[in-house]
């Protein structure tokens, strides 16, 4: 077993932890944390793929851009959470059920 297959095992475990965090919790904040963990695992795949194909510089360039993009997306998500909390006074995902049909 070489170092790279170890990488990918680790990525799979982190991704599983993230999905478990999303499935097991009712709070929107914890759901967002779960999403963050999943997306960190995805970023590890990029750097691992870069190392594996001797293309580390390219992978680093991509990764830094991805981190910046992700910060923006997560900031927007947090803003939505705050707006929702101010409106409903709770962060429970199951209260979001007024739109259905």
Partner 1 sequence: MDKGLLAYLLIPLLSAVIIPFAARTRPKMADILANVTLLAGLANLLWLALRPSMIAGGFADIPGDGLSLLLVAAVYLVGLCVTFFSAYFIEEGLPNRPAYYSLLLVSVAAMTGVVTTTDFFTLYVFIEVLAVTSFALITTDDSSAGIEGALKYFFLTFPASVLIIVGIAILMMTLGSLSYENLRLFMASDAPAGPVTFASALIMLGFIVKSGVVPFHTWTPDAYQGAYAPVSAHLAGIVTKISGVYAIIKLATLLRFFDGRAQALSEMLMFLGMLSIAVGALAALKQTNFKRMLAFSSISQIGYIVLAAGLGTPLAIMGAVFHLINHATFKTVLFLNSASLEKSTGTTDMDKLGGMEHSMPWTSWTSIVALLSTAGVPPLSGFWSKLLIILALWESGLRVYAVLALLFSIVTLAYFMMMQKKVFFGKKTPASERVQEVSAPLLAPVVLMSAIIVALGLLFPYFYAYVKVVAERIIL
Residue from 5, 72, 89, 94 binding partner 1 (CB under 8 A):
72
Task: Rank residues 1 and 87 by Cβ distance to partner 1 and give the closer one.
Answer: 87
Of 88, 86, 74, which is closest to residue 36 (Cα–Cα)?
Answer: 74
Least distance in Å: CB of 38 to partner 1? Answer: 5
Mask for 34-63, x = binds partner 1 (CB under 8 A): -x--xx-xxx-xx-xxx-xx-x--xx--x-
Ranges of H-type helices in 1-101: 3-24, 28-52, 56-88
């Amino acid at each position: 077993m070489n170092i790279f297959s170890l990488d990918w095992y680790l990525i799979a475990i982190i991704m599983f932890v993230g999905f478990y965090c999303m499935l097991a919790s009712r709070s929107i904040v914890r759901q967002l944390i779960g999403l963050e963990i999943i997306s960190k695992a995805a970023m590890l795949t990029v750097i691992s793929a870069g190392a594996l194909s001797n293309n580390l510089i390219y992978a680093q360039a991509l990764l830094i851009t991805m981190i910046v993009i992700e910060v923006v997306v997560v900031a927007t998500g947090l803003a939505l959470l705050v707006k929702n909390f101010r409106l409903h006074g709770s962060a429970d995902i199951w209260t979001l059920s007024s739109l259905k049909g």
